[in-house]
């Protein structure tokens, strides 16, 4: 049994769904451009630099979910998929997932972006399992808070190992394990798998992959 793990933003997607969701809400007039656009860009730059305070960011990202009924959010998300996500889903990324699925590997997308944004994207890629930051819900509506450990940096390892335990697995259950990622933020999980693969990596990850002889591919 093999395990194939995929980061989502700037890995399977040729862009960042977290960033684009906020931009979509700004363009739609749901969020005030003057108040939110510069802050959204600032958080994105912090993420790329490896300096993001995940709890500060999640407060920014999840609060808007609490201000609107789930039915309205779901309708907006359908439009978001058409306008923003589908253009970021390239054939090379689809083919990579398909190869692992055809080999019978257990496939999971593991992402810091919250599951409201990412669950429909995982389904579009045909990936059964999603491990993501979970927004807290009460009665089917979002509270604006995070539930449990954010799926970010070391938190990805925590969330993944919890997911394994729930299924009666551990690292020894898998003959082979792959993780595909573009980001220095994913170094903790990349170091855990047998086959770490840098995908169109940032400079820090590229240097690390070169030093340690990791695989490197492009999906662009």
Measure Cα distances from 219 to 32, 180, 200 in Å: 34, 11, 7
200 is catalytic: no
Strands (E), the chain: 2-6, 106-114, 129-138, 141-147, 176-181, 195-199, 215-217
CB 37 within 8 A of CB 26: yes
How far apart are the C-alpha atoms of 209 and 201, rounded to whole Å? 9
By three-state DSSP, how is residue 135 classified? strand
Task: Assess whether 9 carries a catalytic annotation.
Answer: yes
E strands in 115-155: 129-138, 141-147
Any idea what DSSP says for residue 89?
B
Residues 180/11, Cβ–Cβ less than 8 Å: yes
Rounded to whole angstroms, the Cα distance separating 108 from 129 reads: 5
144: Cα separation from own chain's centroid: 19
How far apart are alpha carbons 121 and 141 in whole angstroms?
A: 20
24: three-class secondary structure by DSSP: helix
Residues with catalytic roles = 7, 9
């Amino acid at each position: 049994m093999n395990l194939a793990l995929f980061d989502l933003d700037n890995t399977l997607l040729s862009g960042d769904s977290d960033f684009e969701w906020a931009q979509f809400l700004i363009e739609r007039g749901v969020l005030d451009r003057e108040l939110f656009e510069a802050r959204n860009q600032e958080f994105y730059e912090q993420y790329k630099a490896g300096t993001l305070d995940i709890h500060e960011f999640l407060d920014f990202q999840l609060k808007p979910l609490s201000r609107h009924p789930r039915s309205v959010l779901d309708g907006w998300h359908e439009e978001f998929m058409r306008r923003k996500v589908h253009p970021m889903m390239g054939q090379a990324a689809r083919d990579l997932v398909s190869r692992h699925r055809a080999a019978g590997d257990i496939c999971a997308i593991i992402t810091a972006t919250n599951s409201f944004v990412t669950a429909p994207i995982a389904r579009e890629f045909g990936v059964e399992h999603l491990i993501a930051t979970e927004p807290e819900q009460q009665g089917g509506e979002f509270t604006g808070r995070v539930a449990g450990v954010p799926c970010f940096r070391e938190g990805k390892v925590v969330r993944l190992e919890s997911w394994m335990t729930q299924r009666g697995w551990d690292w020894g259950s898998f003959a082979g394990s792959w993780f595909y990622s573009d980001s220095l933020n994913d170094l903790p999980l990349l170091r855990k798998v047998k086959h770490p693969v840098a995908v169109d990596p940032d400079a820090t990850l590229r240097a690390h992959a070169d030093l340690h002889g990791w695989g490197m591919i492009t999906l662009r």
